[in-house]
Amino acid sequence: MSFVRRKIREELLWFGIFVISPIILRAQVQLARLLARFWLHIPVIEPFDLSRTQRILVVRLDAIGDVVMTTPFLRELRRNLPDARITLVVNPNTYDLVRTCPYVDEIFSFDCLVPYRWNALLLPWRALKMARAHLWQQQFDLALLPRREFDIWAASFLVFFSRARWRVAYSEFVSSRKHRQSPGLDCLFTHLVSDQPGSMHEVDHNLNMLRSLGATIHQNHTELWTSPECDAEVHQLFRSNGVEDGDLLIGLCPGASNTLKQWPSERFSEVATRLIHHYNCKIVVLGGPADSFMGSTIAPASGRSVVNLAGVTSLQQTVAIIRRCQLFITNDTGPMHIAAAVGTRVIAIFGSSCEHRFGPWKVENVISTNLACRPCNRGHVLDRCERCIYDEPRCLLDLSVDTVFRRADQVLNGSLSTTSSA
């Protein structure tokens, strides 16, 4: 009976996401356009000229990894327009990650973290309130929304309500899924970016928007920044947990945004035990508050050589800790992108998501199975699996501890493997 109730809840949820929410969204878009016509006083559209843009708004309301992959976009935007004033809007959970970014002049956080079922009703008008309070006085020339996927956080409305003269985004027609879930949003923008053929990494998608505006790209590496105060805090945190400057430090991130991306935590624990035995290293476990319990299950199994900092550190502290690691073993999650950005060697475990699109940037050391159901084997019609066709995610469970440990042994001994299959 519980199985039946769960299936009914799932079907109702999908009906709401794919049927009800798009209908509400279309109505919200039309109401926003009426407001623009009779109240917002958006400047008349003129021929676009990148050299004339003096005030720029960038909206990136996504999760940690998406923000990390936007850092080349911000750097190259600043390089093309060194004298422009650039404002960045992020969600509250990622503000700490970019608060020391040298390429923007100011950063706002937009409270878009409401329960998903209320997004279509609440967020557009919360975006209007935010724009009226903080953005209108800026008189933006250009507003950019580099997110390619469907808009779940009302970022399109925030760009529209900013009253920027030129408003640029990826078209809703870049994929059938985006058009299905974000119908009508194209009319909120003055310029739309289309996709290039073939599968592209998210970093390339971001930079493609700048290229479409006539900007040139000199460098495409990701990067992150920490303050001296943060580095001092991490040094003290290490000392209080028995981690010395000369210790071989290996990071683990056993959590993920959903279970279809999560290699079992007991296997992370076994890998940690083997690494400690072979290398006499220290292990630091990182992640968000929801990952704290998984970290505690790894620590007892491996003794005092494991420091569980999951749910303890700020994002900037997490960046500083990962930079100190000699190796970082992780699921497909935000800290994976942090490790790639700070130059730490990464072993990334991928299951239900597409490493060609969301893998650690410029890191080929990805471990994955080659099941036919994976997005990478289905013509990239999806970037991740929303549901598993099996009772349990075989793409992850088929990855053995031996496979991950052997790869870690290769990396630590300097013979980095470039294969990406188990």
Residue 88 located in a structural domain: yes
Residue with tokens 């992640």: 287
Q: Any idea what the CATH number is for the domain that residue 207 is in? A: 3.40.50.2000
Which of 186, 212, 238 is a domain's end point? 212
Residue 348 located in a structural domain: yes
Residue 217 located in a structural domain: no
Task: Measure the CA–CA gap between 91 and 153, rounded to whole angstroms.
Answer: 9
Assess whether 168 and 52 both reside in one domain: yes
Assess whether 293 and 348 both reside in one domain: yes
Residue 219 located in a structural domain: no
Assess whether 30 and 78 both reside in one domain: yes
Task: Measure the CA–CA gap between 346 and 350, rounded to whole angstroms.
Answer: 12
pLDDT digits (tens, 9 = 90+) for 75-109: 999 999 999 999 999 999 999 999 999 999 999 99
pLDDT at residue number 421: 40
Give the up-direction half-sphere exposure of residue 94: CA atoms within 13 A in the CB hemisphere.
27
Task: Measure the CA–CA gap between 294 and 267, rounded to whole angstroms.
Answer: 11
Task: Measure the CA–CA gap between 287 and 309, rounded to whole angstroms.
Answer: 7
- pTM for the structure as a whole: 0.89
Task: Measure the CA–CA gap between 231 and 247, rounded to whole angstroms.
Answer: 17
C-beta of residue 234 within 8 angstroms of C-beta of residue 321: yes
pLDDT at residue number 420: 40
Assess whether 232 and 338 both reside in one domain: yes
User: What's the N-to-C CA distance of the chain in angstroms?
Assistant: 39
Residue 221 located in a structural domain: no
Assess whether 67 and 162 both reside in one domain: yes
Residue 178 amino acid letter = K
pLDDT at residue number 9: 58
- Locate 87 and state its tokens: 């404002």
Assess whether 299 and 406 both reside in one domain: yes
Residue 273 located in a structural domain: yes
Task: Using the CB atoms, write b or e for 129-149: b if 16+ within 10 Å.
Answer: ebbeeebeebebbbbbbbbbb
Domain membership of residue 248 as a residue range: 228-412
Task: Measure the CA–CA gap between 419 and 366, rounded to whole angstroms.
Answer: 7
Which of 188, 212, 236 is a domain's end point? 212
pLDDT at residue number 417: 39
Task: Measure the CA–CA gap between 308 and 23, rounded to whole angstroms.
Answer: 45
Burial grade of 8 (CB within 10 A; 0-12, 13-18, 19 or more): exposed
Residue 394 located in a structural domain: yes
Assess whether 20 and 82 both reside in one domain: yes
Q: Which residues of the chain have pLDDT under 50?
A: 1, 14, 415-422
Assess whether 236 and 208 both reside in one domain: no
Strands (E), 23-113: 55-59, 85-90, 106-109
Phi/psi-derived region of residue 316, left when phi > 0, alpha when psi is between -120 and 50, beta in every other case: alpha
Assess whether 177 and 235 both reside in one domain: no
C-beta of residue 319 within 8 angstroms of C-beta of residue 336: no
Assess whether 22 and 137 both reside in one domain: yes
Write the DSSP symbol of residue 131: I
**Helix count and strand count (H, E) for the chain:** 17, 12
Residue 218 located in a structural domain: no
The domain total for the chain is 2
Which of 212, 246, 276 is a domain's end point? 212
DSSP string for residues in 68-83: HTTHHHHHHHHHH-TT
Nearest to 359 by CA among 145, 255, 204: 204
Assess whether 129 and 95 both reside in one domain: yes
Assess whether 178 and 140 both reside in one domain: yes
Task: Using the CB atoms, write b or e for 92-106: b if 16+ within 10 Å.
Answer: ebbbbbbbebebbee
| C-alpha separations of 289 from 66, 139, 252, 295, 421 in Å | 20, 39, 15, 10, 31
Give the up-direction half-sphere exposure of residue 124: CA atoms within 13 A in the CB hemisphere.
21
